[in-house]
Amino acid sequence: MTGLAPVGTKNVAAGRVEQVILPNVQLRDTDEEQFEDNADEYIRRDLEGSDVDTRRHAACHLIKSLCKHFEEKVIEIFNKFIQQMLSEYQQNPSTRWRDKDAALFLILSLASRGKTERYGITKISGLVNITDIYWTQVASELKHTSPCYPMLEATAITYVLHFRSLLSSDVLADAISSVTGLLLSSSRVVNTYAAAFCEKILFMTNSSPQSLQLDSIKPHIQSLLANLIHMLGVQGNEDNEYAMKCVMRLIVKSGTDQAACVEKVIPVLVDKLWKASKNPTKPHFNHFLFEAIGASIRGVCTQHPSAVTSFEQCLFPVFEDIMVRDVLEFLPYNFQLLALMLELRDQPIAESYTAIFPLILSPMLWERIGTVPALSRLMQAFIQKCPEAIQAEGKVHAILGVFQKLLASKSNDHEGFNILTSLLQYQGAEIVRPFLTDILILCFKRLQESRTIFYVRGLTKSFCSLVISFGPVDIMNTIDSIQGNLFGMLIEKVFIPEIPGVTAKDEEKRICVVGVMQILTQTPAMLQEPQYQKLVIYIYASRNAFFC
């Protein structure tokens, strides 16, 4: 910029601002070329914050350092330049739109005093009125009431994106109404920024009294969904992770409109899944795609269980194709969604599920560490929903073989205990009784050879499940038949030290409490034999740790 050099010794700092900072804040032709020709790189450097080596970032860092020591004087100096740049833009927008872009960037740098990834900027300077700036300078760019300059629109979205946690609900409501239209922008950067902003606002809804409430979003749900679907159909945006993440968030937040929302979006998601499974190159997009499908299933089928059938008809063909082609990246997602549908399904269970069950018993699948949690959940769903089929086909032995394999793994032993607990809960103690001694020997062998904190806590929870299922006397006799007084040693060395530290879901905590109560009240030896009496006294003295 020329003609802006302040005069007088007082304005030495202003001269440095004009000569050093402003030239590095202004957009250059190379920035515009990257914006238009390499949108992915521009988004990565700007929106995703990987611009640590850029001149703009260096200028921003210098501004914040100056404000840290001379806030009032620095803001006063910059304000003069900002007002002049905005004035020049108003006089000739077509040639001076870069001045307004630089002015908004300077405002962001001057106002910011602290930020988080989750909520954006959380602390600002008291000398900058971000609400007034929105209404006077930013809103017009979002509403197309001024000439359209895509890079300026992207900067305007960046403004509301960064200040989202500090702007009032009225401002955010106005912003999301305007930004929804920008999802249709022909600029890939602009529509990506718009999707990122909408997702962040949806995420923040109802998080605090000051945030935008969900009722304010509802009038925009249909147009937001339609524009996102359109955006995902535009060449270059077919696998846009920000758009898919926004779709996922919209499904989660749509509330009473969820069924109508899912009805429109699920064909698009299934089509995207077919295409992505052929060439899974965008891991973030794929993740949000499956999250969106999972949110659709859970949201609709929790209220309408019969709707599971519709999801099965849409999803089973592509799931079967993924399993047949052994698409490694998608198998864990596949198994999780199959488990979710099976958990939500009423009886009778479709044959398509029981046909899958032999597949998940394949040892090769359990060798892949990444698939184990999803496989474990699917197996637990089968145990819960298909007890007759498992018993009739003699699959209990195979399931316990999986339990044995997982028990030997330090990273997945807890999944083995989860499967054992599901067997006891849904199949009954008598199914497991023939294998009880072998199960206990395996557990004690691992405890002796490779003891870890997490294994001991998992064993403690499963021990309580065994006590509840078989009764404390039966468990005591079985353990003592393996080695004399082993039950007492287990209670003293493992059970008592670890159960106060059990941190688990409410259901697992209740299992531990009930197991302790049964040991205390239903085991005569605990009160009659001297070696157990001190254990009873210790458990009673530690009752607050057990039962709180």
Model confidence pLDDT, tens digit, residues 253-299: 886 678 888 889 999 999 999 999 998 989 999 999 999 999 999 98
User: What's the chain's average pLDDT?
Assistant: 86
- Could you tell me if 200 and 161 are in contact, meaning their C-beta atoms sit under 8 angstroms apart? yes
Q: What average pLDDT score do residues 129-137 get?
A: 94
The predicted model gives 463-470 an average pLDDT of 90
Q: pLDDT over 70 for what percent of the chain?
A: 90
Dist CA 541 CA 545 (whole Å): 9
pLDDT digits (tens, 9 = 90+) for 300-353: 998 888 889 999 999 999 999 999 999 999 999 999 999 999 999 887 787 888
**Rounded mean pLDDT, 204-210:** 73
What is the sign, positive or negative, of the torsion defined by CA atoms of 140, 143, 149, 150?
positive
AA identity, residue 240: N
**pTM (two decimals):** 0.88
* Whole-angstrom distance, CA of residue 523 vs CA of residue 270: 56
Kindly state the tokens that stand for 336. 């999780």
**Residue 400's pLDDT is what?**
92
Nearest to 96 by CA among 105, 88, 104: 88
Residue 265: per-residue pLDDT: 93
Supply the DSSP string of 81-131, one letter for each residue: HHHHHHHHHHH-HHHHHHHHHHHHHHHHHHHEEEEETTTEEEEE-TT--HH
User: Binning pLDDT at 50, 70 and 90, where does residue 51 land?
Assistant: low
What's residue 1's pLDDT?
A: 40
CB atoms within 10 A of CB 256: 9
* Per-residue pLDDT, 83: 93
Residue 542: its pLDDT value, please? 55
pLDDT of residue 510: 80
pLDDT at 7: 43
